[in-house]
Amino acid sequence: MGQRRRELGRRGESRAIRYLEARGCQVVVSNWRCQAGEVDVIVLDGACLAFVEVRTRRGQAYGRPEESITPHKLARMAAVAETYIYERGWESDWRLDVVAIQVRGGRVASIEWYRNVSMTLLK
């Protein structure tokens, strides 16, 4: 991955965290890794633990950011979430979320927060 793309991803994650916090979420950890993979952000949304994938794109040449979430990515997100839940002994509700950020002209043009995602929600 190129430096410019990594920087866009870091900026998107930072913006997503601010967005989620402004909506009452409490950040638990960012960029949590395990053998199953990595999750961008884990937040508490009320009593529910949300595992959040952040997708940031410039322009729309390759479609909307959320359209880049594949069934394989969702399966990996679920495996990472299950590992985290098992290791921490979490016994309450949890879900998978996506924050999609569209950037135009160096500025955030839109942010969409998809809660409890499945492939049908992202189409």
CATH of the domain at 19: 3.40.1350.10
Q: Is residue 119 part of a domain?
A: no
In this predicted model, which residue has the larger pLDDT, 6 or 90? 90
Q: Is residue 92 part of a domain?
A: yes
Q: How many domains does the chain have?
A: 1
Rounded CA separation 101/14 (Å) = 11
Q: Is residue 123 part of a domain?
A: no
pTM of the predicted protein model: 0.90
Q: Is residue 110 part of a domain?
A: yes
Q: Which residue range forms the structural domain that includes residue 95?
A: 3-114
For all residues of the chain together, what is the average pLDDT? 89
- Region 113-122: mean pLDDT is 76
Q: Is residue 51 part of a domain?
A: yes
Contact 36, 116 (CB under 8 A): no
pLDDT at 119 over 80: no
Q: Is residue 98 part of a domain?
A: yes
* Cα angle for residues 73, 114, 109 (degrees, 5° grid): 105
Contact 14, 111 (CB under 8 A): no
- Region 3-20: mean pLDDT is 87
Give residue-wise pLDDT tens across range 27-48: 999 999 999 999 999 999 999 9
Q: Is residue 7 part of a domain?
A: yes
Contact 41, 20 (CB under 8 A): yes
Q: Is residue 122 part of a domain?
A: no
- Region 53-65: mean pLDDT is 80
Taking residue 79's Cβ as centre, other Cβ atoms within 10 Å add up to: 14
Give residue-wise pLDDT tens across range 62-112: 678 888 888 889 999 999 999 999 999 999 999 999 999 998 887 888 999
pLDDT at 122 over 70: no
pLDDT at 2 over 90: no
DSSP-derived 3-state class of residue 86: helix
Rounded CA separation 30/20 (Å) = 12
